[in-house]
Amino acid sequence: MQTVTDAAAIRAAIRGWRAAGQNVGFVPTMGNLHAGHHSLLKLARARADRVVASVFVNPTQFGPGEDFGRYPRTLAQDQAGLAEAGCDILFAPEVATMYPFGPAASVSIHVPVITDTLEGAYRPGHFDGVATVVAKLFSLVQPDIAVFGQKDFQQLKVIERMVADLSLSVKVMSAPTLRDEDGLALSSRNQYLLPQERARAPQIYATLVQMRELFRQGHAWQALEQAAKARLERAGFVPDYVAIRRAEDLAEPGADEREGLVALVAARLGATRLIDNLPFD
C-alpha cells in the first residue's frame, strides 16, 4: 500500500488507474481505525478495481469544546490495518492541503433541512464541516463509489443529499453497523469509556432493540421515544435525543406511518458521547 499526502500525488495515481481502465472505490475516515472501518474497505474492495482510503481529522466538523484536540491519531496503526484490508492508497493530507486558505476562510457547503435536526441541532455547523470536507475529498479522489457506515446514519443521509443535489458522479454506498458481542456499536470514541461505563454502554443498543419490538407490537412512536429516554436516564445516560424518524429524510413520521422508519440515539455516558441507530424494517 502506498501512502500519499499531497493533492498532486493522489491525482497522479488516480489518472494512472483511469488510463488502465480501472474504477475507484473510496473510504473517507478520520483515522483511529477499527474493524468497522475495515469492513467498509472490504466492501469497496469487492466493488472496485482500486481502493483509496483517507485519514484526515477534519477541524471544521468539531465545535467549541468538542474533542478535536484529543481525537486519537494513530497513523502507523491505521496504515497496517488498511494494508491488510486491501487498500491500494492511503491519502493522509495535512490541514493545509485540504484548507489552503485556512479552515476559517474555507468555502463551506451547507446541506439545508436534513441538517437542522438531531445531530445538527446539538452540534451546530458540524454537518457543514462534514459536507465540505467530503466534497473536497471527492474532488481530489474522483471516486466511482464511496462507502460510508450506517452507524453515522444522519451523516450518510447528508452526504447522499449533497451528492444528489450537486449532481456528483460518485455512487454512495452504505455498510451495516458492526457491533461488539454485547451490541455496542464499534466506535473510535469507545476507548474513552471507563470500565464501569463500558459495561453500561450496551444499554443503548438494548434500548433501540426494545423500541423496535414495541413498535412492531403497535405502540405509538411518540410514547416509545419518551419511554426509551427514561430508560436510558435510569441507566445513567444523559440523552441528547431519542428519536424515531423517517429513514429517507429524517423527518418526523405521520401518526399512522409504520414503514421506512429508524430509531436514533445520542447520549452521554460520563465524558463520552455515543450515537447509535436501528432501522425498524
90: its cell numbers: 492511503
Position of cell 484529543? Answer: 70
Cell 412492531 sits on residue: 216
Task: Give the DSSP letter of residue 40.
Answer: H
Which DSSP letter does residue 259 get?
Answer: S
Q: What is the distance between the alpha carbons of residues 207 and 29, in angstroms, rounded to a whole number?
A: 28
Residue 184: count other Cβ atoms within 10 Å of its Cβ: 20
Count of C-beta atoms within a 10 Å radius of residue 255: 8
Pairing mode of beta strands 238-246, 272-279: unpaired
Active-site residue, 37 included: yes
Catalytic residue chosen out of the listed positions 34, 37, 38, 126: 37
CB distance 237 to 267 below 8 Å: yes
Count of alpha carbons within 13 angstroms of residue 211, beta-carbon side: 33
Following DSSP, what letter does each residue of 17-58 receive, concatenated? HHHTT--EEEEEE-S---HHHHHHHHHHHHH-SEEEEEE---
Query: Which residues are designated catalytic?
Result: 37
